[in-house]
Structure 1
Amino acid sequence: MDRQQISRIAHADHPIAAPLDDDSVRRLLDRAVPGDGARVLDLGCGGGEWLLRALAAHPRLTAEGVDLSDSALDHARAAAVRLGVADRLTLHRQDAARFTAPHRFDLVLCVGSTHAFGGLPATLAAVREHLAPGGRVLVGDGFWERDPSPEAVEMLGDLADLPTTLGQVTAGGWTPVGGHISTRRELDAYEWSWTGTLAGWALDRPSDPGRAQALRAAGAHRDEWLGTYRDSFGFLCLVLRPTDS
């Protein structure tokens, strides 16, 4: 199995591929979606869960998602058909950093996909090009809640602490109008779901050729989480508006 297949299995029981529970997702979308007739873009949409929830809640909203994973986009299409929102969802198989559109969007999302642009400041600079006047951004990224070990930095990258992260955002010309810091419960629930769902899939399929690989991946991820970054990693979502029109 490749990484995309492993990720799809691991997220089956936690379709929001980030450490947020359903109530947190709902509150963020309530804060971020500017109106029922909004046009929404998700850069790095994965299985499209943010867009699907926004479409279900707003009958006149239209949405577009961008991702490189064929399997994730297929999942989003099938889910959109089941929910009856497929006619309002357009999906693009493309590098999010190279995506262009003939129109702008009232809300642009990029949650857990800032690596596609090279980090949070670069993501926000790119997102601005897609934003309609009066629009909003919903972005989610990691930060260091406590001083990380060198192993954690090597694994998760050059993140900043929370005040520095907010400083980067405001220095880039953005004003937070909402947000959410994932709780310890949300962070742990996400990791237990990721590792447990993947391991359970493998245990339910003793003859599957991917069984051993899935068990190894689940065990390695669990060890990295508990032994390397659990005590230092945090996750922040922000609803932003441009400071200057």
Structure 2
Amino acid sequence: MDLPRIFTIRESSHRIHNPFTADKLATLGRALHLEPGIRALDLASGSGELLCTWARDHGITGTGVDISTVFTAGARARAAELGVADRVEFVHGDASGHVADVPVDLAACIGATWIGGGLDGTVELLARSLRPGGLMLIGEPFWRREPTDQETAEGCHASSPADFLALPELLGRFGDLGYDVVEMVLADQNSWDRYRAAQWLNLRSWLDRNPDDELAPQVRAELTTDPVRYARYEREYLGWGVFALMKR
């Protein structure tokens, strides 16, 4: 049970595996007025930056669950680096089936709602771990500009324009599911650039070190085409944000 290697190659230098900068993550933590000692669960926690930095900056505790052995090892190393290994733990496992043994104050899935089969299922999954009155965090794409054709949608890694909602409709969907949106921090084009463009250097550096690897043709093809595709489609059309929700 692990992520395909291409994912860890592409994001080998990333601490945040979404179009979110460290400043935006810190802004979100401050905006939520996190209190010391609250317990968090982060499903698909990646390299653990949310839990580790919020444990350092706000005194939270928590558990992260991720399917990647590479990212989980990185999260544990990050916790040790920041001196918070006694407050946060990281479990290698399938986040799609994980429910906390004891209800938590904050339950998050940042940019990986496929673990619940989509937005609705992930909200339901997180709710199973959240105490009454707790805070839920969802990271999710949305259309900045709604595509008018299939080519543009596919250029944004969508199967069709129906895969994502525009921001007003996404906020409305949270309401339909019975939640108030109580905060949000959105990616901008600069944070998208820092996320996506950093992947290209990771790919090229890996390719230079591993020209004969079986993945080398795939990495070469992606590096050749991805910058133009990103600039033409994803950068212009696709938004992303983290939304804080509370049950009505």
Normalising TM by the smaller chain, what interval? Answer: 0.7 to 0.9
Instruction: Confirm whether residue 48 of structure 1 aligns to residue 48 of structure 2.
Output: yes
Deviation (angstroms), 1:53? 1.0
- One-letter amino acid matched to 1:153: A
Structure 1 runs not aligned, ≥5 long: none
State the identity %.
31
Instruction: Confirm whether residue 77 of structure 1 aligns to residue 71 of structure 2.
Output: no
Contact 1:32 1:138 in 2 (8 A): no
Deviation (angstroms), 1:33? 5.8
What residue number does 2:158 align with?
156
Structure 2 runs not aligned, ≥5 long: none
- One-letter amino acid matched to 1:77: R
What residue number does 1:177 align with?
182
**Counterpart-to-counterpart distance in 2, 1:114 and 1:55:** 24
Contact 2:16 2:46 in 1 (8 A): no
Contact 1:11 1:17 in 2 (8 A): yes
TM-score for both structures, normalised by structure 1: 0.88
**TM superposition outliers: structure 1 runs of 4+ over 6 Å:** none
What residue number does 2:243 align with?
238
Instruction: Give the count of matched residue pairs.
Output: 240
Specify whether residues 164 and 193 from structure 1 end up closer, same or farther in structure 2 by C-alpha distance, changes over 3 A only.
same
- One-letter amino acid matched to 2:168: P
SS of 1:175's partner is strand
Contact 2:45 2:66 in 1 (8 A): yes
Contact 2:42 2:107 in 1 (8 A): yes
What residue number does 1:27 align with?
27
Deviation (angstroms), 1:82? 2.3
Contact 1:67 1:95 in 2 (8 A): yes
**Counterpart-to-counterpart distance in 2, 1:223 and 1:173:** 40
**Counterpart-to-counterpart distance in 1, 2:57 and 2:139:** 21
**Counterpart-to-counterpart distance in 1, 2:93 and 2:152:** 30
Instruction: Confirm whether residue 63 of structure 1 aligns to residue 75 of structure 2.
Output: no
- One-letter amino acid matched to 2:199: W
Deviation (angstroms), 1:220? 4.0
Contact 1:34 1:135 in 2 (8 A): no
Q: Residues 184-223 of structure 1 correspond to what in structure 2 (within 5 A)?
A: 184-203=189-208, 205=209, 209=213, 211-223=216-228
Deviation (angstroms), 1:213? 4.2
Deviation (angstroms), 1:34? 3.3
Deviation (angstroms), 1:207? 5.4
Range 168-177 or range 146-155, more displaced: 146-155
SS of 1:234's partner is strand
Instruction: Confirm whether residue 132 of structure 1 aligns to residue 116 of structure 2.
Output: no
Contact 2:207 2:219 in 1 (8 A): yes
- One-letter amino acid matched to 1:135: G
Range 3-12 or range 185-194, more displaced: 3-12
What residue number does 1:17 align with?
17
Could you list the per-position Cα deviations for residues 110-166 of structure 1 after superposition, in whole angstroms to 9, with x for gaps in the alignment? 111111112222211221111112211121110111122313434324111111111
What residue number does 2:234 align with?
229
TM-score for both structures, normalised by structure 2: 0.87
- One-letter amino acid matched to 2:46: G
**Counterpart-to-counterpart distance in 2, 1:52 and 1:228:** 33
Deviation (angstroms), 1:214? 3.0
